Amino acid sequence: MFGITFSKLLIIAAIILGLWFLYRYLQRVEKLSKMVLDRKPQARTPDRDGVVAEEMVKCRVCDAYVAARGASSCGRKECPFG
């Protein structure tokens, strides 16, 4: 006798199948995580541009576009930012 029965072969086959499915699952998770990482910078750019566009306001005195937050005066007395 070799000490290998049909039930033992079934268990070995089940373990190999389990490892195979685990390997496939991990590959899919890695692929999905890469897709998410690749998509993040592209998704972030329009939002950032939109925020920047909203924050820009025009000075009615000097006709210059300045950031609404932290806007500093251009130096003229009538400038609303100061």
Q: Give contact residues for Zn ion (rule: CB under 5 A).
A: 59, 61-62, 74, 79
Q: How far lies 39's CA from each of 2, 47, 58, 76, 77, in Å?
A: 55, 14, 34, 45, 48
Q: How far lies 1's CA from each of 4, 5, 36, 55, in Å?
A: 8, 9, 54, 82
What is the closest distance, in whole angstroms, from the C-beta atom of residue 45 to Zn ion in the complex? 30
Of 21 and 65, CB closest to Zn ion: 65
What is the closest distance, in whole angstroms, from the C-beta atom of residue 50 to Zn ion in the complex? 24
Of 39 and 58, CB closest to Zn ion: 58
What is the closest distance, in whole angstroms, from the C-beta atom of residue 56 to Zn ion in the complex? 13
